[in-house]
Structure 1
Amino acid sequence: MAQARTSTVAVVGAGAVGATLAYALLMQGAAHRVVLYDVNRAKVEAEALDLAHGIQFMPPAQIVGSDDIEACRDADVVVITAGAKQKPGQSRLDLAASTVGLMRTLVPQLTAVAPDAVYLMVTNPVDIVTHAALTISGLPPQRLFGSGTVLDTSRLRYLIARKTGVAASNVHAYVVGEHGDSELVLWSSAMIGAVPLLDWSSTHAPLLDETAREDIAAEVVTAAYRIIEGKGATNYAIALAAVRIIQAVLRAENRILSVSTLLSDYVGISDVCLSVPTVVGANGAQEQLLPPLTRAEQAGLRDSAESIRAVARQLGL
């Protein structure tokens, strides 16, 4: 097994997600050194100072806040949370175009100072941003990938656990495809402990019949909208999801996570970034796994890929 990496993580963007991610990294002792980078000097220095004042209550670590890209030099993992801000009336496509434009400036600056890092893209729309960053950077897909549906999968497992009364850690199920409206749940391969999820309703109370599964899937898709409507942004769960991905890299865990990677002839899908179960370890996104898929699931995954590809095509990717 590959050796574990050292632990310097650069978080790009000191907004709600970036600052929360820095906090989560420090609280979990995931990195010995966390660099928070943002072009807003006052904001990034204040966030870092606030975190530094709590260092004695966390595992030993160093926090650095800077508006100088040099602070990211030789980072082992670079996480990009920065993105264009959505303007009133701006479409999702326009927002994607603005964010991709930002990546054309930001990514070359980062790869110049951290050429050997593993890059994790968190900025939305994450599948498009990941594809753009790969094209801009020229990095191999193993070393640059997106957080994808790791958060959506966590939401799914939480909802199944709540419905069945078992621990979320004993629910094994994945959301795949776009991190967005066209994502889908792989119900056919889902397990609760050692029991296939589709058999659960025949061996227990009718908790996970087709209607219940449809409701759960719909709630997973709409969860972000509900949170954004109430508080303006999602930040806690995505930060924790990103920490889990980062730990898989730094600790060479070879953990299976539904990250967004560039596919090549995956059930006939190529040249698009979307999420499938993937082994994540010291070298990044190492191997895409192919669980048994029903015809409907294969069709849903292809439809999701085409949804992403249509946007990428309009952006010239």
Structure 2
Amino acid sequence: MAVIGAAGACGRQVVTQLLNRSLLDPDSRLQLIGHRGGSSANEMHGLRSDLRDAFADDAPVIELIDDPDAVDADLVVMIAGATVPTDPTANVDRALLAESNRRLFETYADALAARAGGQPLVIVQSNPVELGVAVFAARLERHRVVGAGAWSDTLRFRREIADSFGVRRTAVRAAMIGQHGDHLVPVWSRVQVHGVDEAELAAWVAGQRRGRSLADLPAEIVAQRGRLLAMVGAGDVGGAFAAVEELPADLRAALKPFLVHYTAGHTTEIVTAHAVVDLIALAMAGDDIQRPLQIRLDGEIGGISGVIGLPVLFGPAGWQWVTPPQIEQDEMDALLACLDSIAAANAFARA
């Protein structure tokens, strides 16, 4: 297994959670990938020593790599690259983020495509996730490339619903699909909560939606994010977290990561890594399980080609197509609209 960006905050969490869950045995190889000439190349020495101190005889063989051509793993996690600005008052521009990380994606995708032997399974969690998936899927077999962003968003959405009903997250069935960004799509029509009858759930969902259109959700996210981050910038962090709790569950799931980012060390590394390690566990378990993931379509839905987050079966061989999601028309419209946003960001990165 290889983790590209292992020395970063999210990468450290991935390898720590990976070993804490005992997903790799002592005979396995774990490659920690850093940037040659950068600080990460030095930091990985300390990270390896720290991991061995923590996990001792249970730790896998840990290799330090600073050359993309030396990456040699069956499963590769892409979690390196620039993130959103550290200033809460700055504009969050995913197109500019795409331009920053495109060359990094291409460097590692080209190296993996050129290596001898079979192709690895690649899990992308760097942003923009959709661009990362597009780059790797253009060079590798597309069914062996997935993005974990939709699963991260789904975990957040389910947690917000669970909190609303006072149940465990495992009692909730719900999904966030579309873009890992402002154009995410909450699938309200398919929400289920174990132990809650249909009438009560329908009334709660109606209250959450409040007559709001999914077509307007991206604009809502932008407006509310500006309001909340202005509070953070003014030092009213407690007020910002209190204000976000007054919003519907879909907005809470979309906006809380920004509050976390700007108040907890400029990262949401714990849940970001948790989503990746969940997928690693599935890939190693042997069974295909349905998860919302970013994938590259090639005409499976209405002739559409492009990267988007959808529920698919995922397992050791990558993702398999399942039947198109049975969702309402407004959800499908929002899903199709997000393709335009993704395409525009990716096109900017190629310009």
Aligned to 2:252: 219
Amino acid at match of 2:260: I
**Is the 2:130–2:294 contact (alpha carbons within 8 Å) kept by the matching residues of 1?**
yes
User: Out of 107, 110, 115, which is 1:108 matched to?
Assistant: 110
How many correspondences in the alignment? 300
Q: 1:70 Cα shift?
A: 6.2
- Which residue identity does 2:4 align to in structure 1? V
Corresponding residue number in structure 1 for 2:4? 12
Deviation at 1:15, TM superposition (A): 0.5
Letter in 2 for 1:181: D
Match in the other structure for 1:26: 19
1:230 equivalent to 2:228? Answer no
Aligned to 1:78: 76
SS at match of 2:22: coil
The answer on whether the counterparts of 1:176 and 1:184 sit within 8 Å (CA) in structure 2 is yes
**Can you list the C-alpha shifts for 1:160-189, whole angstroms capped at 9, x where unaligned?**
111112221111110000001111111111
2:135 paired residue among 132, 145, 150: 132
Distance 1:28 1:124 in 2: 25
Partner of 2:174: 173
**Is the CA contact (8 Å cut-off) linking 1:176 and 1:258 kept in structure 2?**
yes
Gapped regions of structure 1 (runs ≥ 5): 1-8
2:146 alignment partner, SS class? strand
Partners of 1:292 and 1:85 in 2: CA distance: 34
Query: Which residue in the other structure is 2:62 paired with?
Result: 63
Post-superposition offset of 1:112: 3.5
- What is aligned with 2:99? 97
Overall identity of the aligned pairs, in %: 25
CA deviations on 1:232-252 (whole Å, 9 max, x unpaired) are 111001111101111111222
Partners of 1:146 and 1:259 within 8 A in 2: yes
Q: Name the counterpart of 2:53.
A: 53
Deviations 1:38-58 (A, max 9, x none): 0232111111211111113x8
Query: What is residue 291 of structure 1 aligned with on the other side?
Result: 325
User: What secondary structure is seen at the aligned counterpart in 2 of 1:261?
Assistant: strand
Tell me which of 256, 275, 279 is aligned to 2:313.
Answer: 279
Q: Which ranges of structure 2 fall in alignment gaps of 5 or more residues?
A: 211-247
Secondary structure of the 1:293 match is coil
The answer to whether the 8 A contact 1:176-1:183 is kept is: yes
The letter for the 2-side match of 1:221 is A
TM superposition shift of 1:119:
0.8
> Match of 1:191?
192
Q: In the TM superposition, what is the alpha-carbon distance from 1:21 to its structure 2 partner? A: 0.2
1:168 maps to a residue whose letter is R
1:85 positional shift: 5.6
Whichever residue aligns with residue 20 of structure 1, its letter is Q
Give me the CA root mean square deviation. 2.4
Contact 1:170/1:192 (<8 A) preserved: yes
Instruction: Give SS of 1:227's match.
Output: helix
Does the Cα contact within 8 Å between 1:120 and 1:146 map onto a contact in 2?
Answer: yes
Q: Distance in 2 between matches of 1:68 and 1:308?
A: 30
1:12, 1:36 within 8 Å by CA — same for their partners in 2?
yes
Contact 2:187 2:331 in 1 (8 A): yes
TM-score (norm 2): 0.78
Is the contact between residue 285 and residue 316 of structure 2 (CA under 8 Å) also seen in structure 1?
yes
| TM-score normalised by the chain length of structure 1 | 0.86
How far, CA to CA, are the matches of 1:263 and 1:83 in structure 2?
Answer: 24
Contact 1:156 1:216 in 2 (8 A): yes
Does the CA-based 8 Å contact 2:99-2:350 persist in structure 1?
Answer: no
C-alpha displacement of 1:115: 4.3
| Structure 1 residue 86, shift from structure 2 partner | 5.8
Show CA shifts across 1:119-148 (max 9, x none). Answer: 11111010122112222x2x1211112113
Shift of the alpha carbon at 1:92?
2.8
Once residues 196 and 58 of structure 2 are traced to their aligned partners in structure 1, the CA distance between those partners, rounded to angstroms, is 38
Inter-partner Cα distance in structure 1 for 2:82 and 2:4: 13
Q: CA deviation at 1:68?
A: 4.2
Residue 268 of structure 1, CA deviation: 3.0
2:68–2:108 CA contact under 8 A, matched in 1: no
Taking the aligned partners of 2:69 and 2:44, their CA distance within structure 1 comes to 14
Q: Is the 8 A contact 1:279 1:289 kept in 2?
A: no
Q: Structure 1 residues 300 and 85 mapped into 2: Cα distance closer, same or farther (>3 Å)? A: closer
